[in-house]
Chains A and B, each alone.
Chain A
Amino acid sequence: MMQAYIIRRLLALIPTLFFASVIVFVTVRMIPGDIIDLMLSQNDIAAGKMGREQLEKALGLDQPMWLQYWRWVGAILFHGDFGKSLWQSTPVSEHLMARLPVTFELGAMALVVGLMVAIPIGVFSAVRQDTAGDYIARSFSILMLAVPSFWLGTMVMVFPSIWWGWSPPMQFVPFAKDPLANLGQMITPAIILGCALSAITMRLTRTMMLEVLRQDFIRTAWAKGLGEKLVVARHALRNALIPVVTLIGLQAPLLLGGAVIMEQIFVIPGMGLLLLDAVSQRDYPVITGVFLIVGVAVMFINLLVDLSYGLLDPKVRYR
């Protein structure tokens, strides 16, 4: 049964990937102010029509849309070739390879922080439902969501530098080279991002805990005289955590792409900044590459989450 489930999910991925690639390709090609104009305007002498055609040919932009799409998809599928940056002539895959781990790392750290903040608050909130404690905890959580992350980031960057002459480290060091320096730079944005994410997780944790707390076997455990803490920890929590796993899937898009703001403020070379730079320079291959990879990465994370969910909760498999 499990195999059938896996196969079904994988097959479902194919049309999804196709739609995704079309969405990406069409959206990006519709960008006005195309790269030729941008390149032409960078030089201080008027380029005649010859200059324009020369450039178009050099950049491969002189062919019809569908041919470009076919070439692009073909290159990716058969050669793993995402094309070359139009400005730098360096392979896009190189940029992606360099940036993706950084974004993953920041995302993973933010996720952990988010869970570390959300689950205790969620549990506490559920157990003390509708008391002052519940309200305070929930308010705090939603406050984290309501204050824009760029504002929190700015304050963390500016005020300590004025008061104490300290700011979060800005030199990017790859994890392999110096793990501590790398983590030192990532931890501040990870905390801010994680706190913002925690609101959703907290809400769900609270809901699931409430559900579970009401169930019979909990009442039985209470009746048996087991201490509250034990009941909560052993029975309730374990069951409540299952859907939290699905949350990782839900938050994956946020973590993979939504960290743009943190990347900008804390000088982290991730996928978000790569996209921003590419968009302002109309570097089509890079834009489409980032767009596509992020989408595909999210799909695969969701696939893994779904599969693990299926493992954890047998009811799901027979759907």
Chain B
Amino acid sequence: MASVADSTLAVRPRRKRGPVLHFIGRLFREKPLGAAGAVVFVLFLFCGIFADVLAPYGMNQISPINRLKPPSLQFPFGTDNLGRDMLSRCLYGAQLSVIIGFCAAGIATVISVVLGIVSGYLGGKFDLVLQRFVDAWMSFPDLIILIVVVSVVGPGMPQIIVTLGLLLGIAGSRIIRGAVVSVRENMYVHAAQSTGASTFRILWRHILPNVMAPVIVLFTTRVGTVILAESGLSFLGLGVPPPSPTWGGLLSGSGRTFMLQGPWLALAPGLCLTVVVYATNMFGDALRDLLDPRMRGSR
């Protein structure tokens, strides 16, 4: 897919960077905090994926003789009351957070996009009724729905992922729908419609690309939101149940119980949680600033 420009200017040395690299450059130059957030984000992803390799001990390696040892060379993050290594637990916690965060955010994004596009593009009565349903859904506080639903289907990772995904997805569809509605009246869309392009083609080629920006931003910040939500559920006893070492579970479980005898039990997962949520928010903010046309060029 060589561009016309390339062939005519073949003599001039090309200093063409891919759009992604260009974007990353902008990120680091214009939004240093967001860039830092992005780095942490990637690091978090890396730890999550390679936790099995990185962790020095098992996820649930009980060894009562080593209980409640402070951080040392052997156990960099100390051990908990059953003698399990906290560094390993936190790494596996990262894995769980990656899975829960990305899956739930993914489900949420898919739901948001589908609902938003369908509702926004089709409009009319269908849109009206669907939006009333979304209204109803959004009237319920997240935590309340979570409490009731998790009690219905029981504690467990898949249940929490699906529930959080559904919740955030339906709420997020509003934003996508807004973007779709504003694009719907676009000239290109009218042109495509008048030439008889299929609905699917129009959605795919015209609507969807214009909606990508909010989608990306939503996805990034959602990961942090999900991790935080799970920690709240853990505190109430409704999160992913132990011995799964989710950061929220570690913090609200052994972190709180042994807060005074073993502060490292709370510091380790707490810092991980805070840093990652912070990073996703900063990164998401930076993305929004860079991708959102309204903010572009604001100096």
Query: Do A261 and B236 contact each other (CB < 8 Å), given the known contacts A30-B152, A32-B154, A295-B136?
Result: yes
A15 to B275 alpha-carbon distance, docked (Å): 42
Interface class of chain B by DSSP: helix
How many A-B pairs with Cβ below 8 Å? 147
Assess whether A257 is interfacial by the CB under 8 Å rule.
Answer: yes
- Contact digits for B255-293, partner A, Cβ 8 Å, 1 yes 0 no: 110011000001000100111011001100100000000
Assess whether B112 is interfacial by the CB under 8 Å rule.
Answer: no
Assess whether A307 is interfacial by the CB under 8 Å rule.
Answer: no
- Contact digits for B1-44, partner A, Cβ 8 Å, 1 yes 0 no: 00000000000000000000000000000000100000000000
Query: Do A142 and B278 contact each other (CB < 8 Å), given the known contacts A148-B273, A150-B232, A261-B236?
Result: yes
Assess whether B298 is interfacial by the CB under 8 Å rule.
Answer: yes
Q: How large is the interface on B (under 10, 10 to 19, 20 to 34, 35 or more residues)?
A: 35 or more
Query: Do A28 and B148 contact each other (CB < 8 Å), given the known contacts A142-B281, A258-B143?
Result: yes
A27 CB contacts on chain B under 8 angstroms: 145, 148-149, 152
Give the total of A residues in contact with B, Cβ under 8 Å: 57
A298–B141 CB distance below 8 A: yes
A27 to B135 alpha-carbon distance, docked (Å): 17
A30 CB contacts on chain B under 8 angstroms: 152
The answer, among A135, A145, A275, A302, for a CB contact under 8 Å with B147, is A275
The answer, among A12, A148, A199, A280, for a CB contact under 8 Å with B231, is A148
B143–A162 CB distance below 8 A: no
The answer, among B152, B274, B285, for a CB contact under 8 Å with A203, is B285
Interface residues of A in 190-208 (CB under 8 A from B): 199, 203, 207
B256 CB contacts on chain A under 8 angstroms: 154
B139–A253 CB distance below 8 A: yes
Assess whether A287 is interfacial by the CB under 8 Å rule.
Answer: yes
Assess whether A158 is interfacial by the CB under 8 Å rule.
Answer: yes
The answer, among B129, B138, B252, B278, for a CB contact under 8 Å with A146, is B278
B259 CB contacts on chain A under 8 angstroms: 154, 158
Most buried by B among A18, A154, A214, A287: A154
Closest to B273 in A: A148
Q: A31-B151, A147-B270 are in contact. List 16 more A-B contacts (CB 8 A).
A: A18-B136, A19-B132, A19-B135, A23-B136, A23-B137, A145-B281, A146-B275, A148-B273, A151-B251, A253-B142, A256-B141, A257-B142, A258-B141, A287-B148, A294-B140, A295-B139
Residues of A within 8 A of B (CB): 12, 15-20, 23, 27-28, 30-32, 130, 135, 138-139, 142-143, 145-151, 154, 158, 162, 199, 203, 207, 210-211, 214, 253-254, 256-258, 260-261, 264, 272, 275-276, 279-280, 287, 290-291, 294-296, 298-299, 302
Residues of B within 8 A of A (CB): 33, 129, 132-133, 135-145, 147-149, 151-152, 154, 224, 228, 231-232, 235-236, 248, 251-252, 255-256, 259-260, 266, 270, 273-275, 277-278, 281-282, 285, 294-295, 298-299
- 7 inter-chain pairs at a CB distance below 8 angstroms, sorted by A residue, are A30-B152, A138-B285, A148-B248, A150-B232, A162-B260, A253-B139, A280-B151
